[in-house]
């Protein structure tokens, strides 16, 4: 197997006294002719292998059916109008509006009206709407568009009544949604997070200091007021949330810690009137709303599984409203007109419970077992709560809940068009990790799998940034189960399934524990006969791509195939690009000697060993990824191919290391469905081929296929 020639140079950097070779650093320049040639050569090398995969066409059709099946997002209400994201197979979902909730599905007095069609913004569907915020009176929509998968967005304003865009256009914004403020001089206004226009490469250059701005609709962007600017703290993020007619609530975080601060002032007070409620950026404080002079916030302060607190805005005094649960994690809370809605994680699945403003617990909301809450909408002006749930095989159920304080008055679900979920059985498995801690995982089997012998199995992992791996629907995972494969989703340290201590237990110097948790689950699957090393594939994206890369380099014998997607793979330079420095909260800062030591120990790029036989590997990325820049994947692929070539005939040299680069895609957000189907099909076909999963040919009719796999 002759991989494309990738030139190596003599670049060496001395970091904390250690000489670190970086022979592929030239690949960090994504626009250079040499890097473009590298991408073309890698794609040309990978395509024949991918085209020859027996299940590629079958998975492409299965995934097309999954992705094109109708979807209905959780509705939200503003000014008496209802809004939601709907898709009937388009590359990008449509934002629709109606007079009533039932009207969204055409069952009310009038059919829904399309307010925004992202598919009309570009010929190839690669311009996506990545933010949409409707004013409190329902009159205006602020929406952000991103091109080619970039995180950069441009904000525009649309008149909801006419569907026409106004002249306002705000470029070079990121991260924050527009949050509407009280009118200024009779004109609507909102806050947003902005940066200076990049002076170099907008897709790779490290982000400088941003600022929180206020735009008054109908006025020049050049006249926008600065709400928060702290250039002496270039790594500060600030957001104003939640919206309130009287109070401005400011949350700030540094990106290098997992906590945030809170400050408040009245809207009619100057910026210097901000009063700090929380300082130090040590704990998390998620403000949810204001009621009767108190600001409610979910926090892990003195509560690893979180509690609901309230600040008296007159005095700043803080009290506990809902104490920490003895087992479950308080994920979120919201105010209604008469009480509270609490969202909990119970053994990595979600449940919802009502409560009074004083924290007296009330009725449970019947959302079903083994589900995750993917969105919810509650308002301090309404007694209606809207909720969306998913499972590993259910692509979405919408709930309409009527409440009065802690009492549940009524509950119903809205119809979802298209076929229902396929039959599958989900179990929980548990095993001890390297430190004795019990680590659980979801095990999903097709309904017709008797479980009487090892089967081709796909593990999907993440383990970072306090993000939980709940029973959510992902087309790539559902397609694997529908094709007869076993799916395993572990709840690793670093994630948010079991509270802040579980998260912190997989961060910084403890990051290796995340990988050890993964190895423990994999070994448990093999020991209990669920699968074997010859039938076990590993897939992960972003921080999950780091997980896959570390697992590949540390325990190559465990895997039949590994699929790192848009992964963080160079742990010594991740902080040099775009927003990478903000990940130091989980990884640590490699500019610090202590952090460099443990990052160097597991950095996938620096852990590749020459002559080791690595399993078949498919690395995927997008050349417009300005979150995890593609140089991570480029350098890792080049180094891994070099090592694989040195493994010799009959060893790793017989196992392909492929790099597939999407040349009109970013980190994944807003990716067109047809492009996603191609990427996912390659990944699943690669995993199927190397784990021995035989996939039946796709039916001729997509409708029949959708019915078979449950879309």
Catalytic residues: 542, 625, 667
The helix, strand and coil proportions of the chain, stated in percent and rounded to the nearest 5, come to: 25, 35, 45
Per DSSP bridges, beta strands 457-460 and 536-541 are: parallel
φ, ψ at 575 (rounded to 5°): -80, 0
* Cα 461–chain centre separation: 13
Which of 89, 84, 77 is closest to 106 using CA atoms? 84
Q: What element of type H or E holds 687?
A: helix 673-691
Q: Would you call the peptide bond into 267 cis, given omega within 30 degrees of 0 as the criterion? A: no
What tokens were used for 430?
């548990």
Cβ neighbours around 701 below 10 Å, total: 11
- Residue 560 has which token pair? 């039949």
Q: Which two tokens stand for residue 176?
A: 């924050």
Q: Within 13 Å, how many C-alpha atoms sit on residue 411's CB side?
A: 16
Q: Hey, CA dihedral for 132, 136, 138, 140, is it positive or negative?
A: negative
Q: Please, are residues 84 and 92 in contact by the beta-carbon 8 Å criterion?
A: no
Beta-strand ranges (E) seen in 347-469 are 349-355, 361-365, 372-377, 384-390, 397-404, 407-414, 424-432, 438-446, 457-460
Closest CA to 564 of 384, 655, 687, 465: 687
Q: How far apart are CA 311 and CA 288, in angstroms?
A: 12
Cα separation, 516 vs 520, whole angstroms: 6
Residue 522: CB atoms within 10 A of its CB come to: 26
User: What are the residue ranges of helices labelled H in 530-626?
Assistant: 543-554, 584-587, 593-602, 604-607
Region of residue 577 (phi > 0: left; psi between -120 and 50: alpha; otherwise: beta): beta
Burial code (b: 16+ CB inside 10 Å, e: under 16) for 243-280 equals bbeebbbbbbbbbbebbbbbbbbeeeeeeeeeeebbee
- From residue 57, alpha-carbon distances to 655, 677, 684 in Å are 22, 11, 11
What DSSP string runs through 294-333?
EEEEEE-TT-TT-EEEEEETTT--EEEEEPPPSSSEEEEE
CA angle 590, 640, 616 (to 5 degrees): 125
Other C-beta atoms closer than 10 Å to the C-beta of 452 total: 7
What DSSP string describes 469-500? --S---HHHHHHHHTT-EEEEE--TTSSTT-H
Strands 617-622 and 657-662 turn out to be: parallel
């Amino acid at each position: 197997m002759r991989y494309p020639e990738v030139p190596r140079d003599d670049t060496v950097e001395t970091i904390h006294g250690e000489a670190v070779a970086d022979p592929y650093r030239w690949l960090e320049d994504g626009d250079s002719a040499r890097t473009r040639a590298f991408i073309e050569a890698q794609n040309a090398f990978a395509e024949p292998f991918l085209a020859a995969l027996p299940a590629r066409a079958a998975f492409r059709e299965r995934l097309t059916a999954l992705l094109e099946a109708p979807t209905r997002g959780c509705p939200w209400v503003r000014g008496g109008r209802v809004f939601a994201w709907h898709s009937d197979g388009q590359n990008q979902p449509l934002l629709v509006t109606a007079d009533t909730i039932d009207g969204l599905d055409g069952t009310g007095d009038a059919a829904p009206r399309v307010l925004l069609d992202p598919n009309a913004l570009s010929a190839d569907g690669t311009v996506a709407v990545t933010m949409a915020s409707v004013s409190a009176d329902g009159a205006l929509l602020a929406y952000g568009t991103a091109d080619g998968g970039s995180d950069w967005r441009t904000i525009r304003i649309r008149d909801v009544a006419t569907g026409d865009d106004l002249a306002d256009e705000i470029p070079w914004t990121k991260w924050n949604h527009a949050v509407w403020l009280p009118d200024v001089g009779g004109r609507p206004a909102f806050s947003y997070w902005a940066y200076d226009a990049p002076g170099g490469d907008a897709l790779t250059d490290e982000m400088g200091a941003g600022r929180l701005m206020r735009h008054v609709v109908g006025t020049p962007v050049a006249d926008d007021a600065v709400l928060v600017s702290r250039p002496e703290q270039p790594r500060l993020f600030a957001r104003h949330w939640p919206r309130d007619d009287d109070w401005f609530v400011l949350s700030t975080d540094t990106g290098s810690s997992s906590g945030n601060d809170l400050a408040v002032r009245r809207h009619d007070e100057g910026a210097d009137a901000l009063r700090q409620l929380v300082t130090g950026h040590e704990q998390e404080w998620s403000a949810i709303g204001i009621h009767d002079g108190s600001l409610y916030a979910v926090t892990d302060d003195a509560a690893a599984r979180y509690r609901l607190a309230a600040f008296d805005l007159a005095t700043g005094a803080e009290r506990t409203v809902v104490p920490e649960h003895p087992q479950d994690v308080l994920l979120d809370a919201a105010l209604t007109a008469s009480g509270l809605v609490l969202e909990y994680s119970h053994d990595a699945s979600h449940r919802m419970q009502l409560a009074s403003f004083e924290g007296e617990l009330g009725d449970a909301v019947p959302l079903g077992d083994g589900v995750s809450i993917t969105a919810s909408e509650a308002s301090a002006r309404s007694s209606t709560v809207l909720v969306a749930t998913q499972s590993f095989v259910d692509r979405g159920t919408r709930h309409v809940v009527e409440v009065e304080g802690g009492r549940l008055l009524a509950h119903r679900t809205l119809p979802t068009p298209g076929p229902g979920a396929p039959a599958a059985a989900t179990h929980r498995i548990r095993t001890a990790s390297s430190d004795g801690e019990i680590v659980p995982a979801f095990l999903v089997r097709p309904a017709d799998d008797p479980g009487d012998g090892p089967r081709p199995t796909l593990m999907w992992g993440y383990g970072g940034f306090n993000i939980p791996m709940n029973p959510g629907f992902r087309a790539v995972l559902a397609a694997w189960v529908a094709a007869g494969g076993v799916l395993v989703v572990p709840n690793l340290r670093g994630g948010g399934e079991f509270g802040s201590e579980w998260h912190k237990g997989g961060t910084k110097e403890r990051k290796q524990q995340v990988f050890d948790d993964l190895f423990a689950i994999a070994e448990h699957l093999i020991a209990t006969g669920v699968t074997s090393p010859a039938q076990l594939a590993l897939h992960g994206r972003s921080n999950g791509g780091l997980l896959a890369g570390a697992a590949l380099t540390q325990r190559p014998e465990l895997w039949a195939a590994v699929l790192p997607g848009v992964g963080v793979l160079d742990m010594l330079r991740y902080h040099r690009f775009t927003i990478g420095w903000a990940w130091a909260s989980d990884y640590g800062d490699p500019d610090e000697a202590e952090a460099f030591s443990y990052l160097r120990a597991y950095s996938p790029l620096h852990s590749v060993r020459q002559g080791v036989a690595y399993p078949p590997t498919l690395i995927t990325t997008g050349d417009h990824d300005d979150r995890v820049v593609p140089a991570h994947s480029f350098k890792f692929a080049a180094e891994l191919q070099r090592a694989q070539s040195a493994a010799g005939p009959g060893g790793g040299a017989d196992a392909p290391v492929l790099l597939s680069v999407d040349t009109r895609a970013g980190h994944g957000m807003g990716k067109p469905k047809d492009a996603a189907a191609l990427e996912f099909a390659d990944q699943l076909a690669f995993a199927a081929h190397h784990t021995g999963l035989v996939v039946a040919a796709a039916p001729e009719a997509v409708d029949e296929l959708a019915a078979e796999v449950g879309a």
